[in-house]
Amino acid sequence: MFEFEQVLVATNNFSEENKLGECGFGTVYKGQLPEGSEIALKRLAPHSGQGFTEFKNEVQLIAKLKHRNLVRLLGCCSHEDEKILVYEYLSNKSLASFIFDENKRALLDWSTLLAIIQGIAHGLLYLHKHSQLRVIHRDLKPSNILLDSEMNPKISDFGLAKIFNSNSIEQNTTRRVFGTYGYMPPEYASEGIFSIKSDVFSFGVVIFEIISGKRNSGSRQCGDFINLLGYAWQLWKEGRLIDLADASLVSKSNPIEMMRCINIALLCVQDNASDRPTMADVVAMLSNQRMIMAEPKQPAYFNVRVENHGASCAPESCSINDITISVTVPR
């Protein structure tokens, strides 16, 4: 446990200069301990929706999770209405701050992006199958994936995570649907049904965003569609999958590897949860280039179209301060 006074000193009284960005339930600050080590502190908003139960949930979960692709929890602080989580500080901040920024994106070559995709997959596989607790994250997105100094991805923000029976991949239902538009599978967004396949869906969306440099649900349109899923499906049917990729990336990458990753993403975002692969399947497909993959079926949200056929996909810039805030979905 950290004392509240320690937190105030470390963050210079939660100064704006130390603010890193917004997360699911609050604000993240950079801090420095007396001995000089840097930390990241998540200060939960009093009216964020994450009460003491969710706070306790996140602390207990992360304390038991240890994997190179998960962010490391250092401690916590509870003082009156203040609830604060203290994590390791990761100098490169979030994946979102790289892939959606045209200048920073140029620093990432294909081998780095592929390693990031593989690292996220291994982190999710650990959560679903190999950890002491079996965990469904429920809010996987680029702003919740942090990067260390060597660009290794680490999954963060476990405020919405749920523990499930290790011997079952059955679906669960909740009346409180939280998450982020664009990353939630249809069965969760509309009916509150979630399972490990919910994370698989989110992972597929993240792959699309990593490769394209575009947000799945942004203000920019993708051909006839308002999301990357429908656009990718159209390109798949037309045999033009490579057109989904950021043009600057195609010339300096392995197109076969890239198209294989897009194929995997299409399998992950299939409309029917039972058709989606498990993360064990995904890791196997990513690591074995000779493994034969099934043909994807129609993705979720495929029929969401726009009338302006002249619109095109274009990258959108953002910074760490533009992190998407998780929202409650109207039922």
pLDDT tens-digit profile of 54-93? 677 778 777 888 999 999 989 899 888 888 989 999 999 8
Tokens of 302: 């495929």
Catalytic residue among 101, 139, 157, 246: 139
The CB density around residue 294, as the number of other CB atoms within 10 Å, is 12
Give the percent of the chain with pLDDT over 70.
84
Question: Which whole number is the average pLDDT over 251-273?
Answer: 93
224: pLDDT strictly greater than 80: no
Residue 171 confidence (pLDDT) above 80: no
Q: Is the pLDDT of residue 146 over 50?
A: yes
Where is pLDDT greater, at 191 or 179? 191
Across residues 87-102, what is the average pLDDT?
94
- Class in CATH terms, 4-88: alpha beta
Residue 207, pLDDT above cutoff 70:
yes
Can you give the pLDDT at residue 315?
A: 37
Q: How big is the CA angle at 98 (ends 67 and 226), to the nearest 5 degrees?
A: 105
User: At 132, is the pLDDT very low, low, confident or very high (cuts 50, 70, 90)?
Assistant: confident
Please indicate whether residue 43 or residue 153 has the higher confidence score (pLDDT).
Answer: 153
Query: How sure is the predictor about 165, in pLDDT bands with cuts at 50, 70 and 90?
Result: low
2-34 pLDDT tens trace:
999 999 999 999 999 999 887 667 899 999 999
Phi, psi angle pair for 56, to nearest 5° = -60, -40
Token pair of 38, please?
């840097």
Cα separation, 98 vs 320, in Å, equals 9
Is it the case that residue 44 has pLDDT exceeding 80? yes
What pLDDT, on a 0 to 100 scale, did the predictor assign at position 320? 29
CATH number among 1.10.510.10, 3.40.50.300, 3.40.50.10710, 3.30.1490.20, domain 96-328: 1.10.510.10
Q: How confident is residue 113, by pLDDT bands cut at 50, 70 and 90? A: very high
Mean pLDDT along residues 93-112: 93
| Structure tokens belonging to residue 69 | 């692709």
List the domain boundaries for the chain: 4-88, 96-328
**Alpha-carbon gap, residue 125 to 304, rounded angstroms:** 31
Rounded CA-CA distance 139/142 in Å is 10
Instruction: Tell me if residue 139 is catalytic.
Output: yes
Task: Between 321 and 237, name the one with better pLDDT.
Answer: 237
Q: What is the mean pLDDT of the chain?
A: 85
**Average pLDDT of the residues in 188-206:** 94
Q: How far apart are CA 193 and CA 174, in angstroms?
A: 7
* CATH topology agreement for domains 4-88 and 96-328: no
Query: CB-based contacts of 68: which residues, under 8 Å, 6+ apart?
Result: 119, 122, 152, 154
pLDDT of residue 323: 32
Residue 276 has pLDDT above 60, yes or no: yes
* Structure-model confidence comparison of residues 47 and 276, the more confident one: 276
Instruction: Note the pLDDT of residue 311.
Output: 41
At 221 the pLDDT is: 59
